[in-house]
Amino acid sequence: MNFVDRDVVRELGERFDPLSADYLLDPYPFLSRAREIAPAFYCDAIRHWVITRHADIKGIFRNPPSFSAQNANSPLRPACPMASKALEEGGWKAIPTLANVDPPEHTRVRKLANTAFAPKRVAEMEPFIRSLVDRFCEERFRGGRVDLIRELAWDLPVLVLFKILGVPDSDVESIKTGSWNRIIFIYGRPDDDEQVRAAQGMAAFWRYAEALVAARLKKPENDFTSALAHAVDPDGVGLTPQQTTTVILNLLFAGHETTTGLLGNAFRRLLADRQAWQEIVDDPALIPNAVEEILRLDSSVIAWRRHAMADVNVGGVDIPAHSNLLLMLASGNRDPDVFDDPDRLDIRRPNARENLSFGVGAHLCLGAPLARMQATIAIEVLSRRLRNLRLVENEPLRFAPNVSFRGPLALHVAWDA
Ligand code: HEM
């Protein structure tokens, strides 16, 4: 890298703030420029190295000895003393268990989680998801105009997850509130007061998961929580109640917020491209690849974290040991070295599935098949029932203020009766 390049890269890192209003609204112009300028740069605002290119991100995911997942769930802004106190007093006891542990412990826990989240359990959800989307269409899509997030994407994934975990439907509001607190606390930049409030909410979220696990340990039912709480490895060793609660707590967040975002992004992009929407209406067989293309073009998880265990080199850039890395999945997903004309929606794109949105390697998203199934069914049902569905024009979009999770908080759509 020559002298001028170094200055440009330094300026990039000094100016970039992944929580700025402009970036939250549309991160793609910045990511495109950053990817062109540097494969890696240090961002002062969040004290992370930002990684921009597909091959490097994939290589990092595939190299757990050099790049630990230990920081995956750590607050971006470390907890202030009052927030730590609120967590402790609220009974928060989450410990590194699945997403933020490395092999060999990760391998053991993941096998137990895989057993409990068996493909059969996911496949059995298909008719339930279909009936739920049909029911929402009949009961909620009235009057020719709705907010698609509120009436479909907000609670479809959480109700599906509840069915899997064995949680009553009546708890939607409290779980959605718990998830919002978690987004702000871990992936946002709250001030002290906000952080304390979010910490109190997170502690309540923990107590909820703890009570659920305790109930299933006492009296198992036919659900994932019971299966995980009672699963044992070939040596007869299972998870402790604290570990099981941590996994359930994480699922009560990751298992729906991500899919709500995916549904919002999918309908936003497909409805904005009338030709793509019409093609799907005419030929629903295109939908699975269209879902992959949405995951690539506009993922609901735009960044994920790793920690450098030693001095490392990423794309020619030296990064010191113990640095935190922000892997820009959304940037890798539009890397022109992998995807032709990467900013264009192409529902027939042959390599759309090379997207990085579910991660790669050992930690590959546990819920990817479930998320894909929900998006496919939702698009199938709506494109069949509301063929002339369209976006309401000039409605401003808003996104949650955080570095990782992205989907419109509201999406107004209309149709002719
Ligand atoms: C569009 C929807 C989703 C996206 C984009 C997404 C994305 C991700 C990403 C990027 C990771 C980290 C991978 C890594 O560290 O290498 C991950 C991990 C994980 N996801 Fe998802 N996810 C989605 C839906 C779900 C759903 C529906 C569930 C569960 C029902 C789920 C459960 C998990 C779990 C448990 C992990 C940790 C796996 C491990 O560490 O072994 N996710 N996901």
307 C-alpha to center of ligand 1: Å? 18
* Mean of per-residue pLDDT scores for the chain: 96
338-388 pLDDT tens trace: 999 999 999 999 999 999 999 999 999 999 999 999 999 999 999 999 999
Average pLDDT on 58-71 reads 98
Distance of CA 344 to the CA centre of its chain: 22
255 C-alpha to center of ligand 1: Å? 7
Average pLDDT on 288-306 reads 98
Atom 39 (ligand 1): residue with closest C-alpha? 363
> 252 to each of 141, 162, 225, how far by Cα in Å?
27, 8, 11
Q: Is the pLDDT of residue 2 over 50?
A: no
Q: Is the pLDDT of residue 302 over 80?
A: yes
Tell me, letter by letter, the H, E, C secondary structure of 383-399.
Answer: HHHCCCCEECCCCCCCC
Spell out which residues line ligand 1, taking CB within 6 angstroms. Answer: 61, 69, 72, 98-99, 110, 161, 250-251, 254-255, 258-259, 262, 299-301, 304, 357-359, 363, 365-367, 370-371
Q: Is the pLDDT of residue 3 over 90?
A: no
In one-letter notation, the amino acid at residue 351 is N
395 C-alpha to center of ligand 1: Å? 30
Atom 18 (ligand 1): residue with closest C-alpha? 365
Atom 6 (ligand 1): residue with closest C-alpha? 358
Residue 327 dihedral angles phi and psi, to the nearest 5°:
-85, 115
Q: Give CA–CA dist 333/346, Å, rounded.
A: 13
Give, as one character, the DSSP assignment of residue 88. H
Residue 417: predicted pLDDT? 77
Q: Give CA–CA dist 9/166, Å, rounded.
A: 49
Q: Is residue 15 very low, low, confident or very high in pLDDT (cuts 50, 70, 90)?
A: very high
134 C-alpha to center of ligand 1: Å? 26
> Ligand 1 atom closest to Cα of 371?
27
Is residue 19 within 8 Å of residue 188, measured between CB atoms?
yes
Q: Give CA–CA dist 320/366, Å, rounded.
A: 31
Cβ-count burial of 387 within 10 angstroms (0-12 exposed, 13-18 middle, 19+ buried)? middle
Of all residues in the chain, what percent carry a pLDDT higher than 90? 95
Pocket test for ligand 1, best of 263, 366, 370, 376 (most atoms within 8 A of CB): 366
Q: Is residue 6 very low, low, confident or very high in pLDDT (cuts 50, 70, 90)?
A: confident
359 C-alpha to center of ligand 1: Å? 8
Q: Give CA–CA dist 355/338, Å, rounded.
A: 9
182-218 pLDDT tens trace: 999 999 999 999 999 999 999 999 999 999 999 999 9
Q: What is the pTM of this model?
A: 0.96
> Ligand 1 atom closest to Cα of 98?
40
Atom 3 (ligand 1): residue with closest C-alpha? 258
404 C-alpha to center of ligand 1: Å? 12
Average pLDDT on 135-163 reads 97
Of all residues in the chain, what percent carry a pLDDT higher than 70? 99
Question: Of the candidates 204, 184, 207, which has an alpha carbon nearest to the alpha carbon of residue 79?
Answer: 184
> Ligand 1 atom closest to Cα of 157?
27
Q: Please, what sign has the CA dihedral across residues 358, 328, 302, 112?
A: positive
Is residue 258 within 8 Å of residue 300, measured between CB atoms?
yes
Q: Which helix (H) or strand (E) holds 376?
A: helix 368-385
Q: Give CA–CA dist 314/374, Å, rounded.
A: 36
Atom 7 (ligand 1): residue with closest C-alpha? 358
Name all domains of the chain by residue range, CATH numbers in brackets. 3-414 (1.10.630.10)
Atom 17 (ligand 1): residue with closest C-alpha? 365
Q: Is the pLDDT of residue 1 over 60?
A: no
Average pLDDT on 9-13 reads 93
Give, as one character, the DSSP assignment of residue 185. I
Q: Is the pLDDT of residue 165 over 70?
A: yes
> 293 to each of 51, 258, 286, 327, how far by Cα in Å?
22, 16, 11, 20
240-287 pLDDT tens trace: 999 999 999 999 999 999 999 999 999 999 999 999 999 999 999 999
Atom 35 (ligand 1): residue with closest C-alpha? 366
Atom 21 (ligand 1): residue with closest C-alpha? 365
Q: Give CA–CA dist 89/229, Å, rounded.
A: 25
> 29 to each of 299, 332, 361, 402, how far by Cα in Å?
15, 13, 28, 18
Is residue 249 within 8 Å of residue 205, measured between CB atoms?
yes
295 C-alpha to center of ligand 1: Å? 13
Q: For residue 137, give both structure tokens.
A: 């269409």
250 C-alpha to center of ligand 1: Å? 10
Pocket test for ligand 1, best of 365, 376, 405 (most atoms within 8 A of CB): 365
148 or 115, greater pLDDT? 148
Atom 41 (ligand 1): residue with closest C-alpha? 363
Angle between helix axes 126-140 and 368-385 (nearest 10 degrees) is: 40
> Ligand 1 atom closest to Cα of 99?
40
84 C-alpha to center of ligand 1: Å? 26
Atom 23 (ligand 1): residue with closest C-alpha? 258
Pocket test for ligand 1, best of 265, 299, 358, 403 (most atoms within 8 A of CB): 358
69 C-alpha to center of ligand 1: Å? 13
Beta-carbon count within 10 A of 144 CB: 11
